[in-house]
Amino acid sequence: MGEDKPCSRMNPTHREALELPSRNPTADGNAGHNPDWTRSRGEANPAPPAGGAIRPRSAHARRYNTSPLLRSLKTACSLRGGSPAMFAELNELLNASPQRPETGKFTLLRDTRTDGSFLVHHFLSFYLRAGCKVCFVALLQSFSHYNIIAQKLGVSLTAAEERGQLVFLEGLKSCLDLWFGEQEEQSGKPSPLQFISKSTSDLKALFDFVQVSLTPASSDSWKGPVLLVDDLSVLLSLGATPVAVLDFIHYCRVVVCSQLKGNIVVLVHSNEDSEDEENELVVNSLCHHSDLILWVEGLATGFCKDVHGQIKITRRVSLELTGEQDVVQIYQYKIQDKNVTFFARGLSAAVL
């Protein structure tokens, strides 16, 4: 199959995403086991054993098993051949380049009625390409899941880990180790997520992990440090209080953004119709303190093969310049083979 030519943001050519190829678990040597990269976000948090200390939070347990955006992302990640590509149009909209990454910024990724994880994959590959030291607190998926998608974008997480550029906290594995008491026996060190096995929701251990991971050594030649969290709402699901989560983000901003001149990128799930007041409190508080907000929403009219959702980009100019209005841009988008195409509302291929 030949490579698609990049299309204009204002007049994209009509291209349909390929169907996800069928996989034979027996042929892959994994009979009865779904690969990590095909798991839905609904399977991210494993159920604790009986007697666990975790509060049930059904609002976060439901993840988008049938989300058209998630299906499209899996389709994009399953394709073979061709040169890897970053989300070039998103970089253009944000006026960003791996050759000149900004510093001291807090970026909030927010998704509603859809899956915004494609933004996490974009920023992960972006900062690794930029030569930044990255601490990735991954609470939703396994390392292999992120690594397979990163390889489609031309980045190897395994190689980044080996050369010391990436520090990866696999939240799923850490939770299981804590529940069965294996982690401290193996490493002799307290787990960054130790709050889930204690009566308090103190996230100091997680903050200490981030601080140690991103504090540069004398021999380091990496650019500014970056903290990436996917997904902050999971901390609430694991029993942390909104105050503890907001305190954690505050101290991370002081260390990473102010002291180390780095960046923080956080994904958080939100649902305006949800009765989960704690999650909405965290989301609204983070919005007030963010330098950049990328808010992706599913279409109110439902699934459309030519438009997968809407993204609202808000630059918080008012944080720096008194009396200035925030800059807001709204686009619709479609996830394609190895890219995401953005266009003005009403200018999709179906309309033109």
Q: How far apart are CA 338 and CA 352, in angstroms?
A: 23
The length of the chain, given as a count of residues: 352
Give me the helices (H) in 57-135, please.
58-61, 68-78, 88-94, 117-129
Q: What is the pLDDT of residue 167?
A: 96
Q: Is the pLDDT of residue 113 over 60?
A: yes
- pLDDT band, residue 110 (cuts 50/70/90): very high
Q: Which two tokens stand for residue 296?
A: 């992706």
Q: How far apart are CA 114 and CA 340, in angstroms?
A: 15
Higher pLDDT, 65 or 148: 148
Higher pLDDT, 32 or 245: 245
- pLDDT band, residue 54 (cuts 50/70/90): very low
**Of all helices (H) and strands (E), which one includes residue 329?**
strand 327-335
Into which CATH architecture does domain 69-289 fall? Answer: 3-Layer(aba) Sandwich (3.40)
Between CA 11 and CA 19, with CA 15 as vertex, the angle to 5 degrees is: 155
Q: What is the pLDDT of residue 31?
A: 41
Q: What is the pLDDT of residue 40?
A: 43
3-class state of residue 78 by DSSP: helix
Q: What is the pLDDT of residue 111?
A: 94
Closest residue by Cα to residue 268 from 243, 293, 251:
293
pLDDT in tens, 246-274: 999 999 999 999 999 999 999 999 887 77
- pLDDT band, residue 351 (cuts 50/70/90): low
What are the CA-CA distances from residue 262 to residues 70, 98, 136, 253, 257 (Å)?
30, 14, 14, 9, 5
Helices 117-129 and 143-152 pack at an angle, to 10 degrees, of: 70
Separation of CA 101 from chain center: 18
pLDDT in tens, 185-196: 455 577 898 888
Q: Please, what is the average pLDDT of the chain?
A: 78
Q: How far apart are CA 335 and CA 317, in angstroms?
A: 29
- pLDDT band, residue 93 (cuts 50/70/90): very high
Percent pLDDT > 70 in the chain is 70
Q: How far apart are CA 340 and CA 203, in angstroms?
A: 35
> In this structure, how many other beta carbons lie within 10 angstroms of the beta carbon of residue 173?
15
Tokens 């804590």 belong to 178
Give me the helices (H) in the chain, please.
58-61, 68-78, 88-94, 117-129, 143-152, 157-162, 171-179, 183-187, 204-214, 233-237, 242-252, 277-289
Ranges 112-126, 144-158, 171-185, 264-278: which has the least confidence: 171-185
Q: What single letter denotes the amino acid at residue 22? A: S
Q: What is the pLDDT of residue 182?
A: 61
Cβ(53)–Cβ(239) below 8 Å: yes
First to last CA, the chain: 25
pLDDT in tens, 322-343: 677 889 999 999 987 678 888 8
Q: What is the pLDDT of residue 331?
A: 94
Q: How far apart are CA 152 and CA 334, in angstroms?
A: 17
